Amino acid sequence: MSEPKPIIILGSTGSIGQQTLEVVRALPHRLRVVGLAAHSNHELLAQQIAEWKPAVAALWDESAAQQLRDAVGSSSTRLLAGQSGVHEVATYQEGQLVLGAMLGAAGLGPTLAAIEAGKDVAIANKETLVAAGSVVMEVARAKGVALLPVDSEHSAIAQCLIGEEAKTVTKLTITASGGPFVDTPKEELARATAARALKHPTWTMGQKITVDSATLMNKALESIEAHWLFDVPMQNIDVVVHRQSIVHSLVTFCDNSVKAQLGVPDMRLPIQWALLYPERIGGTAPALDIASMGPLTFERPDAARFPALALAHHAMQAGGTAPAVMNAANEVAVHAFLKGTTSFYGITDCIEAVLERHTVIARPKLSDIYEADAEARRLAREFF
């Protein structure tokens, strides 16, 4: 049998990072952790270092990294700090595959560094593709590395596409649970609090993506993510509300045949698929019992209550730096919503206003994207 695959986890203390470690824990003969990185959660990273004994580990936040050093003491793990430390972990020589599960566009630098270093990337961090899809895909192609989706919808699409020719694909249909507000009237939504938005009906996730699910911005980001990963035009990417989160997405082909991938809503399944691709083995996710799962329903999303989807199409039509601006404004606005300093519709109102004030750079270089992102954050902060 082959040696366990050496992997690096960026964002190991988050929801996806911790579920990735559960997958590794269940498959120790197939996977081995050689690098871990997070932002500032030194307590949890110290525990992870004690359990996994990675060769390298880093915290982006320098003062938290000092606390990590104090907690870990002498160990075989090399401890690093700051942005450069996270980059060093992302490019650590022994790592074969990097799982990118940092939050937001902060993941862009480490992800690009891993790709430049020739590593395959299992990508959960969708904001990286939204902000800089053209650059990331170009570098990945040039380096001949695989970008394997972790997002459940994109994992479903990738699985449906196996054995198919790209030119036969006519439509991608991304499913949405609809989030906690799927039936909430607009007037009530306008007063919705973060506490209510954080009660997701089918998935347990980090706070930012849970709010994105409530506004449907998550589907907006996922549509753009799908465009870059699968090279399908935005107008051929649809979103449908599927409350049960059993059908993870669908692909329509030119003969009108439709393929879908089903499974229980459990992120360990797409995580394992990406970590072990192209191999399937028994792992951690529970079985789906078709006969007892009840009816599956599909509905159009309500564009009037959820303006995020239209914003994504608008940003993609504008092209260039516009999606990076949309993403950055959303990150700032979601943060404000979580702190209680803006309302539910304050999020999309802010994004719309920031997009309006942005002058698009059509074929952006990486530096243009970083500048557009920083400018969008500055403009968005003026709102709150």
**Contact residues for ligand NDP (CB under 6 A)?**
10-17, 37-41, 60, 86, 101-103, 106, 124-127, 151, 203, 205-206, 208-209, 267
242: partner contacted, choices Mg ion, ligand NDP, none (Cβ within 5-8 A by kind) = none
Residue type, 368: D
The contacts of residue 50 (CB under 8 Å, 6+ apart) are 72
CB 377 within 8 A of CB 331: yes
40: partner contacted, choices Mg ion, ligand NDP, none (Cβ within 5-8 A by kind) = ligand NDP
Q: How far is the CB of 368 from ligand NDP (least distance, A)?
A: 21
Applying the rule CB under 5 A, the residues between 146 and 165 that interact with Mg ion are 151-153
Burial 309-344 (b: 16+ CB within 10 A, else e): bebbebbbebebbbbbbbbbbbbbbbbbbbeeebeb
Task: Round to whole Å and give the CA distance between 140 and 122.
Answer: 12
Q: Which has the closest alpha carbon to 348: 300, 377, 302, 380?
A: 380
CB 346 within 8 A of CB 360: no
Residue type, 193: T
CB 342 within 8 A of CB 190: no
101: partner contacted, choices Mg ion, ligand NDP, none (Cβ within 5-8 A by kind) = ligand NDP
Q: Which has the closest alpha carbon to 239: 189, 295, 286, 303?
A: 303
Cβ closer to Mg ion: 218 or 348?
218
Q: How far is the CB of 177 from Mg ion (least distance, A)?
A: 9
Cβ closer to ligand NDP: 16 or 252?
16
Q: How far is the CB of 222 from ligand NDP (least distance, A)?
A: 8
Told to check if 225 binds Mg ion by CB under 5 A, we report no
Q: How many CB atoms are closer than 10 A to CB 284?
A: 16
CB 316 within 8 A of CB 227: yes
Cβ closer to Mg ion: 77 or 175?
175
Residue with tokens 């074969």: 96
Q: Which has the closest alpha carbon to 180: 205, 209, 206, 215?
A: 215
Q: How far is the CB of 256 from ligand NDP (least distance, A)?
A: 29
6: partner contacted, choices ligand NDP, Mg ion, none (Cβ within 5-8 A by kind) = none
Cβ closer to ligand NDP: 13 or 91?
13
Q: How far is the CB of 18 from ligand NDP (least distance, A)?
A: 8
213: partner contacted, choices Mg ion, ligand NDP, none (Cβ within 5-8 A by kind) = none
329: partner contacted, choices Mg ion, ligand NDP, none (Cβ within 5-8 A by kind) = none
Q: How far is the CB of 269 from ligand NDP (least distance, A)?
A: 11
Q: How far is the CB of 176 from ligand NDP (least distance, A)?
A: 13
Positions touching Mg ion (CB under 5 A) are 151-153
